[in-house]
Amino acid sequence: MLKGRHLIDPLDFSVEELDEIFSFAEEIIAEPKRYSSLCNGKILATLFYEPSTRTRFSFEAAMLRLGGNVIGFSEPNSSSVSKGESIPDTIRTVGSYADIIAMRHPKEGAQKYVSHYSPVPIINAGDGGHQHPTQTLTDLLTIRKEKGSFDNLIIGICGDLKFGRTTHSLIKAMSRYKNVSFVLISPQELKIPDYIKTEILDSKCIKYLEVEKLEDVIGDLDILYMTRVQRERFFNEADYIRLKDSYILDKKKLDLSKKDLKVLHPLPRVNEISIEVDDDPKACYFRQVKNGMFVRMALMAKLLGVV
């Protein structure tokens, strides 16, 4: 039962509950007009204590496409709502006007804290530590749509695996499905944290491989999840120069991949995927953007209990 629930952590929902959301998202994708009045009379409040136009637009478009409406602020300095007021009071007030709240906040745990006081469902739209559960839902829906199933996939994750929380959430979420294995592609400095290996991968006997170069493994992958590698993360310049091209996906590397590889990216990208790749059917990242809107539609409809 998803009605009235909050979504704070990507793992708050069971595999079955996620399936319910993804199935409904796919119904919406198939027949968007059928659901265009589903949230008539409902109001989403977008409380962005930190700007994120991309995420805000996705939530707002999602609610509008369900026939609902939106109030909100998009800038920290707009948040006079909190002037001298405790954040629980703010949430109780906003929860008097709106039926559901999407909140982004620079402080880790802010959404969890306020959810205890909220009279309406709270969705974490990103907190300081970049816990960002609707990004994970977007990634999962894209894999499901592109591959038909979550099981039996070899998933490559490439780039900054140390600081990129998106990739941690993806690993945790995908490790709940059958016969999934991971290829973790990163420079030494940016390897996945040990706790992910011991607590998630080893404890569930999930196979994984750690490598330094994308070209060495791209031929084995069913999914390639790209993220950015920032120059300033490297310990020394020589390593950076030696490795940087390994983390850029171009046509040449893509030619080494299986015919049905699917490339995902949470966006925004900088140069880690060459634009020559954009028109290749393997490139899913712009379809992924659209999936992000659809999965938010399904999520909000379920939390509001209108389906």
Q: Which residue of the set 46, 55, 142, 227 is catalytic? A: 55
Instruction: Indicate which single residue of 2, 60, 168, 200 sits in contact with its own copies (rule: CB under 8 A).
Output: 60
Q: Which is nearer to its own copies, 102 or 180 (CB)?
A: 102
Q: Is 63 left (phi over 0), alpha (psi -120 to 50) or beta?
A: alpha
- Rounded to a whole number of angstroms, the minimum distance from the CB of residue 228 to its own copies is 9
Half-sphere exposure of 4 (CA within 13 A, CB side): 3
Active site residue 5: no
Residues 279-298, mask of contacts with its own copies (x by CB under 8 A): -------x--xx--x-----
Span 202-221, contacts to its own copies by CB under 8 A: none
Alpha helices in 51-164 (DSSP H): 53-65, 87-97, 110-115, 133-147
Q: Which is nearer to its own copies, 146 or 222 (CB)?
A: 146
Beta strands in the chain (DSSP E): 43-48, 69-73, 100-104, 122-124, 154-158, 181-185, 208-211, 223-226, 262-264
Span 61-90, contacts to its own copies by CB under 8 A: 61, 64-65, 69, 71, 73-75, 77-81, 83-85, 89-90
The DSSP 8-state label assigned to residue 190 in this structure reads G
Residues 243-272, mask of contacts with its own copies (x by CB under 8 A): ------------------------xxxx--
**How many other β-carbons are positioned within 10 Å of the β-carbon of residue 281?**
10
Contacts 24+ apart (CB under 8 A), 284-293: 284/142, 284/146, 287/142, 287/145, 287/146, 288/138, 288/139, 288/142, 288/264, 289/58, 291/25, 291/29, 291/138, 291/141, 291/142, 291/145, 292/58, 292/134, 292/135, 292/138, 293/58, 293/61, 293/62, 293/65
Token code pair at residue 135: 């990004």
Query: Which range touches its own copies (CB under 8 A), out of 12-20, 95-103, 190-198, 212-220?
Result: 95-103
Q: Which is nearer to its own copies, 163 or 177 (CB)?
A: 163
Q: Which residue of the set 65, 132, 253, 265 is catalytic? A: 132
Active site residue 55: yes
Q: Which is nearer to its own copies, 83 or 178 (CB)?
A: 83
- Rounded to a whole number of angstroms, the minimum distance from the CB of residue 6 to its own copies is 19
Half-sphere exposure of 61 (CA within 13 A, CB side): 14
Instruction: Indicate which single residue of 9, 27, 51, 220 sits in contact with its own copies (rule: CB under 8 A).
Output: 51
Active site residue 83: yes
Residues that bind its own copies (CB under 8 A): 33, 36, 40-41, 43, 45, 51-54, 56-58, 60-61, 64-65, 69, 71, 73-75, 77-81, 83-85, 89-90, 92-94, 96-98, 267-270, 286, 289-290, 293
Residues making up the binding site for carbamoyl phosphate: 54-55, 104, 132, 135, 267-268
